[in-house]
Amino acid sequence: MQADQWLQPREEGLYCVPADAYIDPTRPVTLALITHGHADHAISGHQQVITTAQTLAIMHTRYGNDMAQRTRAMEYQQTFCLGSEDDPVLCTFFPAGHILGSAQILLTYRQTRVVISGDYKRQPDPTCPPFQAIPCDVFITEATFALPVFRHPPIEQECQKLLQSLALFPERCHLVGVYALGKCQRMILGLRALGYDEPLYLHGAQRKLCDLYQQQGIKLGTLTDVSDVADKTQLAGKIVLAPPSALSDRWSRSLPQVRKAMASGWMQIRARAHQRQVELPLVVSDHCDWQALLDTIAEVNPGEVWITHGREDALLHQLTKQGVRARALSLIGYDEDATD
């Protein structure tokens, strides 16, 4: 049975008809399959949530223990049935390499295999197992950075840039805008990997998820809350991690001679960095760049590609040119800017 007959874009999100389930719905539904914990993919208020144990932990941390009426934690590669017993939809989670707990979801219905990859990347990430290419008939991909101008450098290079700046401006507090889930912890690990053992300072919004990562066995080193530092002048020459919205907030005024940095895939574009008045743009992304998207699609080699949020025009154009069957799904509500 053709995939588009049982898997449809709806206002709430992508809907699997025979399982009566939505994938990453943006409104509360009866049954939600969730790829990862970013706020635009995982909301609270569903009746039942099925996702990985780590994503459940993230959702509980963010929304509290009553974030859904029922939850079910899945291991990677473990298959279970949805829908009717005679005519089931088989569902399996595979690693996506995006953030802690992130997964691709393989749905098989009447022999047709569809992989919903969620958000994913191919660069190494010590907080999650690497993306796995799953053979399928339909591969559903994001297109956040789907323009050939986007090239993500290795994270070591960008962390090095930050440390160099720290050496060059030892009197300035380096305030780094990072998304609280995923980017924050990856930056910390990137800095630690380069031998930076100083305490890292956290804006209040980063604390809970960093603690969760540590509970999950990911060692982040010494993390100190900015609010616990009585004498803020001590933060000169130190690194403070804060949500991007706090960069220009009154909150940052208490810090000494702030040098604004931001870690995001968008920082490659000068105007984007300029708009945020970022002095030190760090190109760090948890998504694929253009080449990684094309390489992944070639590796998965699906019968057909469906493109969700992002710059779908460009990817659609390129795939069509390569002779790959592709179409754009217009799914709304996934906020490209907030999470990268």
**CA distance linking residue 272 with residue 338, whole number of Å:** 13
Query: CB neighbours (10 Å) of residue 149?
Result: 10
Q: How far is the CB of 196 from other proteins (least distance, A)?
A: 22
Q: Is 266 in the site for other proteins (CB under 8 A)?
A: no
Nearest distance from C-beta of residue 147 to other proteins, angstroms: 5
Closer CB to other proteins, residue 70 or residue 317?
317
Residues 194-213 close enough to bind other proteins by CB under 8 A? none
Residue 282: name the closest of 153, 121, 170 by CA. 153
Q: Does 281 bind other proteins (CB under 8 A)?
A: yes
CA distances from 256 to 86, 106, 164, 175 (A): 66, 49, 19, 10
Q: Which residues of 70-105 are buried (b: 16+ CB within 10 A; e: fewer)?
A: ebebbebeeeeebbeeeebbebbbbbbbbbbbbbbb
Is 74 or 246 the residue whose CB approaches other proteins more closely?
Answer: 246
When asked if residue 268 is in the footprint of other proteins (CB under 8 A), the reply is yes
Identify which of residues 150 and 306 has a Cβ nearer to other proteins in the complex: 150
Binding marks (x or -) toward other proteins, 147..186, rule CB under 8 A? xxxxx-----------------------------------
- 4 counts as binding other proteins under rule CB under 8 A: no
Name, in order, each residue with C-beta under 8 angstroms of 329's C-beta and a sequence gap of 6 or more. Answer: 9, 14, 140, 306, 307, 308
Q: Which stretch binds other proteins (CB under 8 A): 125-133, 233-241, 308-316, 330-338?
A: 308-316
CB nearer other proteins, residue 208 or residue 311? 311
CB within 8 A of 327, min separation 6: which ones?
304, 305, 306, 307, 316
Q: E strand or H helix at 186, and its extent?
A: helix 183-193
Please give the angle made by the CA atoms of 190, 195 and 197, to the nearest 5 degrees.
95
> Nearest distance from residue 337's CB to other proteins, in Å?
12
Chain residues 120-149 in contact with other proteins, contact rule CB under 8 A: 147-149
Q: Which is nearer to other proteins, 39 or 147 (CB)?
A: 147
Distance in Å, CB of 150 to other proteins, minimum: 7
Give the pairing of strands 46-52 and 31-33: parallel
Look at residue 61 and give its three-state secondary structure.
helix
Total binding residues toward other proteins, as defined by CB under 8 A: 23
> Does 295 contact other proteins by CB under 8 A?
no
Binding site for other proteins (CB under 8 A): 147-151, 268-271, 273-275, 277-281, 311, 313-314, 317-318, 321
